[in-house]
A and B are shown apart, each in its own frame.
Chain A
Amino acid sequence: MFPDVQLSRRPLHFIYLCDCSGSMRASSKMQALNQAIRQSLPEMVQVSQQNPEAQILVRVLSFADQAHWHLGTPTPVDQVQQQWTDLEAGGLTAMGEAMEQLAAVLRTPPMDQRALPPVLVLISDGAPTDDFMAGLRSLMAEPWAAKAVRLAIAIGHDADLEVLQQFIGTDPVDDLEASATGRIGGRGVDGDRMPGTGGRNPRRPLQANDSNTLARYIQWASTAVVGAASQPRSQAGGMASTNVVLPDLPPTILDPKDVW
């Protein structure tokens, strides 16, 4: 007779941080983002079914003039489709406030101590209009944020890649390379973009300049990355490595119709 003990799957929190500023209305970017998220949900459910040891819980935090929980309750992935309502654009880019609000939910409690490293996906087409650094400091003070898989998708060429890189953090591989080359985070010491590195390393902002590429990156983050994060693999402390082995990025093809 097994005792009255609650055995449960380890929660895996997947949180979208979506820029809903006015500029997202341009060139149907908001429409493309909504469509990409909606389209990714069925495959996300499949990933959840393939990894029954993880309980995938989805939330969406939007930010424009203010940060706002669009889907605030950690929702089992198979219920997100029923509850999904499209994001709407309009206003500024309160990304710093979004970081603060995110920090508040990444504390224990409410986070379960046994939780898997969360997956945080920041999607933006612009630059913060509030105090982003203060928000980021609050966020990174939370151990769960430091443990999280942090990804960023830059929509169009106006996205502030420096800010998105700060959200992701330093690539440990870059740390090693930096000591040898004097370059940091995929950029030269003067901040110029290094040739051949733009957007094709998951530890750097992923550049989406058309709706197809955006959809591919959303799909990758919500399925391949979630699948990897669902399979915790322990490692020795102090190793220069991230907690989750990120899968290869999807191939991207330039869409001639829809360049942002």
Chain B
Amino acid sequence: MCGEVSWLPPCCESRVGAAHRRRGTPCQDASGLWWFADADGELLQALVVSDGHGSPRYDRSAVGSRLACEMTLQAIASELASSRIGASSDLEPWREWLAHGLPEAVVKGWRKEVLHHGQAHPRADGAPPSTLAYGATLGVLVLTPRWWGYTGLGDWDLVRTGSTGPGELLSEEPSSPGGGESTFSLCMEGAEQFFSCRSGLVPIEAGQEPFTLLLSTDGIRKSCGSDVDFLNLARHLGELPQSNDQGRFSTLAEALDHISSQGSGDDVSVAIARWGQPMDAPPLPAPWNEPLIVQPTEEAPLQPAGMESQPGDGALGPSEDGLCASDVSGKPGQGNRRGSLFWIALPLLVLALLAAGAGAMSWLGWYPFARREPVVDAQSPELMAVLQKEASRLCTPIPMPEPVPEATGAGGGEGSVGGPTLNAALLERINAALSQRHSTFQALLNGSPPRTFLRTPTHDPTGALIAWSRFHGQGLGPREMGWCPELRQALVQQWERVSLR
């Protein structure tokens, strides 16, 4: 390869997701970058992406993600600007710094800043400031002339693409810690300890071929049909021509909008670093005095005091304090509203009581408002036909008959079942079917009239069969009907079971 290679100007971008745009919710993603010089004047770069959680309890996560980017870039610069990256060939201290030192500084700084924000923007309910509402993920890239490294926590992805061949997924969240959309977060207790498994350092060897690193929030990967598509997309984004040296360019923004609208609908952020020949890109400008932070809305719109009790953007469930917004009292004019509500509620209450009473009567077999069904005579051919058909269905033989001695203890006499042996499997199956009609047995035992079940036997053949067995006495009658002994035995057992409860 000809010519000198080095880090080219980086870029980053965050875009409001298509779904967020449609619902009018703020962008909870943020990204940022900073290039600066170390004590020897060597140019360094730091890139970050952060994704604020979308669940209602994280209603300040847009602020959390922006502060995460700011604090991380500050922490990196404060450590590296006074260091001499090239002074030692030992990279182990830097590896350790990425895994532990930097995370501790970031988490400490982020917590301090979000609590400060919470104090400056108190909640209406007077709840003390908490880091929970600001929960966000964080992905970090640090680039030096001798090595590059990454760290962070959460569901961001890091892809490396070379000049040829497929891209390589260097880092991803191994598995979501709580299932579903759960991810590691800055707001979690001991968050700094979750960075080490997502950190790494890669030395830059002499003659290093050009490559591109793409750091992205989860909205990008979740928009792709497969990981192959994701790697191809990462290559495409990394190869987009850059139109200026300000760290942002319109083609990238347009591409991200397209990805979100055709894919996950989530907010999307990327930070792109490129190692290559300067002729491929505009020259790296002079170090910046301050970092670039990208977030389509500067800050999540904070609800004015008194209106903050509905977290998130959906009217799903109660507010944080468990009260609906309409439960707030003491506002002028609310007395009249309550009065009108009373007159609306009163007739509804009366109707509800009538309905409840009617339901109770229905349960007892009396249907004051229901259309009367023609009652089937207890000995009618229609009822007999339904009962026989249902008994035949229940008695349908099943393979592998297993002879067992007939059960005893059913009382003998009228309650006993004839025949020397029973098909145990069939008995078990019938018992299983009848045991699901516990409430029918119970209702009949408690005095519910059998006609409730016999009036329309075709609607509930099993209920009619049970009622008929009750109508003729427990276990009585079925013998004359010619029902199989297993069904008769099962009826006896079910009636006994209900009686004993």
Contacts and interface: CB of A to CB of B under 8 A. Distances in A.
The answer to whether A and B assemble together is: yes
Interface of A: 2-10, 21-23, 25-28, 51-53, 90, 92-93, 113-114, 117, 125-127, 129, 143, 146-147, 156-158, 228, 231-239, 241-248, 253-259
Nearest to A92: B432
Interface stretch (B90-98, B111-119, B176-184, B277-285): B176-184
A233 B312 contact: yes
A237 B178 contact: yes
The 3 closest A-B pairs by CB, nearest first: A237-B177, A243-B180, A53-B265
B179 A143 contact: yes
Nearest to A210: B359
A70 to B, nearest CB: 20
Interface of B: 18-19, 51, 53-58, 132, 135, 137, 155, 175-185, 187-188, 218, 221-227, 229, 232-233, 235-236, 255, 258-259, 262-266, 312, 314, 316-317, 352, 355-356, 358-359, 361-363, 367-370, 393-394, 429, 432-433, 435-440, 459-463
B225 A8 contact: yes
A157 B358 CA distance: 18
Given A2-B255, A7-B263, A114-B221, A236 B184 contact: yes
A233 B53 contact: yes
Contact of A239 (B182, B218, B438): B182
Given A245-B56, A254-B356, A256-B367, A234 B181 contact: yes
Given A7-B263, A235-B57, A244 B433 contact: no
Nearest to B463: A26
A209 to B, nearest CB: 9
A234 B54 contact: yes
Contacts of A147: 176, 179-180
B432 to A, nearest CB: 4
A37 to B, nearest CB: 20
Given A8-B223, A26-B437, A117-B180, 9 more contacts: A2-B255, A7-B263, A23-B462, A228-B314, A231-B54, A235-B135, A239-B178, A243-B182, A247-B317
B53 A52 contact: no
Which of A9, A52, A232 neighbours the largest number of chain B CB atoms within 10 Å of its CB? Answer: A232
A21 B460 CA distance: 13
B355 A253 contact: yes
A147 B181 CA distance: 9
Contact of B459 (A9, A27, A129): A27
Nearest to B368: A256
Contacts of A236: 53, 58, 132, 135, 178, 182-185, 187-188
B222 A10 contact: yes
14 contacts: A8-B224, A10-B264, A23-B433, A25-B460, A53-B265, A93-B436, A126-B436, A236-B58, A236-B132, A237-B183, A245-B55, A245-B316, A254-B355, A254-B358
B359 A255 contact: yes
A257 to B, nearest CB: 5
B50 to A, nearest CB: 12
Contacts of A231: 19, 54, 314
A156 B439 contact: yes
A244 B436 contact: no
Contacts of A156: 439
Main secondary structure of the interface of A (DSSP, over half): loop
A241 B221 CA distance: 25
Contacts of A259: 359, 362-363
A127 B436 CA distance: 6
Contacts of B358: 254, 256
A255 to B, nearest CB: 7
Contact of A234 (B182, B233, B438): B182
A233 B54 contact: yes
A105 to B, nearest CB: 18
Contact of A232 (B54, B175, B233, B463): B54
Which of A5, A6, A52, A92 neighbours the largest number of chain B CB atoms within 10 Å of its CB? Answer: A5
Nearest to A253: B355
Which of A6, A127, A156 neighbours the largest number of chain B CB atoms within 10 Å of its CB? Answer: A6
B436 A9 contact: no
Nearest to A114: B222
B431 to A, nearest CB: 9
B437 A158 contact: yes
B217 to A, nearest CB: 10
A198 to B, nearest CB: 15
Contacts of B222: 10, 114
A245 B432 CA distance: 37
Contacts of B317: 245-248
Given A4-B232, A256-B355, A238 B135 contact: no
Contacts of B188: 236-238
Nearest to A202: B317
A129 B436 CA distance: 10
A129 B182 contact: no
A92 B355 CA distance: 34
Contacts of A241: 55, 57
Contacts of A245: 55-56, 312, 314, 316-317
Nearest to A27: B460
Contacts of B437: 23, 26, 158
A232 to B, nearest CB: 5
A256 B361 contact: yes
Nearest to B185: A236
A21 B19 CA distance: 42
Contact of A6 (B224, B266, B435, B461): B224
A228 B316 contact: yes
Nearest to B51: A234
Given A234-B54, A253-B355, A5 B178 contact: no
A257 B314 CA distance: 36
Contacts of A114: 221-222, 224, 264
A125 B58 contact: no
A16 B57 CA distance: 30
B155 A234 contact: yes
B94 to A, nearest CB: 28
Contacts of B355: 253-256
Contacts of B137: 234
A172 B248 CA distance: 44
